[in-house]
Chains A and B, each alone.
Chain A
Amino acid sequence: MTPLGIVDYYEAWWIQLIKAIVIFAIGLQIVPIVLIAERKLLGRFQGRYGPNRVGPYGVIQPLADILKLLGKEQSRPNTSIGPLYILAPTISIMTAVATFAIIPFGDAPHIFGTRVGLYGVDVSIGPLYIFALSAIAFYGLMLGGWASGSKYSFLGAMRAAAQLISYEVSQGLALVGVLITAGTLSLTQIVHAQEGMWYIVPQLAGFLIFMVAAFAETNRAPFDLAEADAELVGGYNTEYGGGRFASYYFAEYLNVVVVSGVATTLFLGGWLIPGWHSEPAWLDPFVVLFKMTLFVIFFIWIRATLPRLRYDQLMSFGWKVLLPLATLNTLITAIVVVAVHG
């Protein structure tokens, strides 16, 4: 029995291994692109060019940044707790990459006679898997901030903890509407269920709530209180430098990509093109990447627009506005679904 043979799955174990490597590689390629795209776009939104000195149009700027970070000394404060301090960034990046594994880039076409799913794994509990991993990712921030032994890191970690817990509830409830409508937890099945209509139309409220919560979950502006530079120096990653900081940075941007992928899958019909049901299978990943790009640009656009929220506003918005709206959305969806299909 092969090591993975115990998992009853239609793909051979070696296909899964290859897919794991490919997905990891793609994930690591996307992040530098997002980095440069963010800096260039932020520049445009502010009437300037952004980085344009390293390479043609500055496109290899992220490479230079990352090489610089990797070339730095791995130092840590005397007050830090060694093993946890080293472990925390790896938790962050591991969960980000693991979440990337279940985003479907297409159906399961036949490649060279074998059926290969264009995703890491089609788990039957898709959204639960995402939330499980984002709950673990929170340990990356929390342990990092706490193990640094610095008050700014600790404050940032506390904020991150409160924020992630508050918004995870709304994010989960926003997805429940989609899950009730689709009647399945498998992400590929959810995409197939959207063949008639993308869920952004019937689940518009759920989509808006999901997006707001996604900004908070990824610690992006205007909810970047966990690393509020002006007040906390850098938040939970203040004491990190070099490769460990690069890990945090990578995880943060990979999370943006992952959330974009989840939103694409659940609300924008994944690889589906409206009005074209017989598109070739090789087109699917590009459709998904295109939709993800739109979301990433939206994330950057929002960052260029909105100022950071005050802490009490963040909390009151999360608990008093978002959570009741998400609950109401779930309730109405449930009633409508029962009334129509019941």
Chain B
Amino acid sequence: MSATPAADARWSPGDDQIEVQRAPEPGGAGGAYRAFGETLRGLKTTLARVVEGVNTIQYPEQKVAVYPRFRGRHKLHRFEDSTDGQAGLEKCVGCSLCAAACPADCIRVVAAENTPEMRVSAGERYAAVYEINMSRCIFCGYCEVACPFDAITMGHDYELSDYNRGDLIFTKEMLLAEPLDASPLRAEGE
């Protein structure tokens, strides 16, 4: 439907009117010349990719090195050695601050009292159950920030697939153990 002359008379775009530069219409000898010229340019571009070589990383055999601050699978820590007999004790005291900080609500902590016979952690209490549901975790790192004892940190392991959802609930023993296949690490600033 074309606008009536009366409608044109009522409003004119004035200064708002802009000139749009358009490509020439396809067709004609000029169009064919342009098409062939641009095609040759494109062919040159793609051939340059062949000359450049491949950029693929053959994943299962080669891995991308992660940065030190990469947030991968969590780790729970023990005291490595110290003078006051804490070596080997877990750092986690079962305070549940990580579970409170977790936005995905994927951490479950059940605390229990340390006894002189069975001393698990350095504090008064320890985590009897410590589970992280990796299928829910969003790897935000808030748990690491919330922890007052640096008991939980984000590791570098990113290969977390499994066949069952249940297997993705990591228990305390799994989190305390060193990851079997450590991801390659790159230096800061590399």
Contacts and interface: CB of A to CB of B under 8 A. Distances in A.
A43 B54 contact: yes
Contact of B36 (A44, A208, A301, A313): A208
B31 A321 contact: yes
Given A317-B26, A321-B31, A305 B45 contact: yes
Given A320-B27, A321-B32, A47 B47 contact: no
Contacts of A48: 54-56
Nearest to B51: A44
Interface residues of B, number: 22
Interface in A279-324: 301-302, 304-306, 313, 316-317, 320-321
Among A208, A305, A316, A325, the most chain B Cβ lie within 10 Å of the Cβ of: A305
Contacts of B42: 305-306
Main secondary structure of the interface of B (DSSP, over half): helix
Contact of B43 (A46, A208, A305): A305
Given A304-B46, A305-B46, A47 B55 contact: yes
B64 to A, nearest CB: 15
Contacts of A301: 43, 46-47
A45 interface: yes
Interface residues of A, number: 19
Contact of B27 (A44, A46, A208, A317): A317
Interface in B23-59: 26-29, 31-32, 35-36, 39, 42-43, 45-47, 49-50, 52-56, 58
Nearest to B53: A47
A213 B113 CA distance: 83
Contact of B28 (A47, A305, A306, A320): A320
Given A49-B54, A306-B39, A325-B32, A44 B26 contact: no
Contact of A316 (B26, B50, B53): B26
Main secondary structure of the interface of A (DSSP, over half): helix
A86 B36 CA distance: 40
Given A301-B43, A305-B39, A45 B49 contact: yes
Contacts of A43: 54
Contacts of A304: 46
A320 B26 CA distance: 9
Given A313-B26, A317-B26, A320-B27, A47 B49 contact: yes
A305 B36 CA distance: 13
Contact of A44 (B29, B35, B50, B58): B50
Given A301-B43, A305-B43, A47 B54 contact: yes
Contacts of B47: 45, 301
Interface string A21-44: 000000000000000000000011
A302 B50 CA distance: 13
B37 to A, nearest CB: 13
A302 B45 CA distance: 11
Contacts of A316: 26-27
Given A46-B49, A305-B39, A321 B27 contact: yes
A304 B43 CA distance: 8
Contacts of A320: 27-28
Nearest to B40: A305
Among B32, B35, B36, B39, the most chain A Cβ lie within 10 Å of the Cβ of: B32
8 contacts: A44-B49, A45-B50, A47-B49, A48-B54, A301-B43, A302-B39, A304-B46, A321-B26
Given A304-B46, A321-B29, 14 more contacts: A44-B49, A44-B50, A45-B49, A47-B49, A47-B52, A47-B54, A47-B56, A48-B54, A208-B36, A301-B47, A305-B43, A316-B27, A320-B28, A321-B31
Interface of B: 26-29, 31-32, 35-36, 39, 42-43, 45-47, 49-50, 52-56, 58
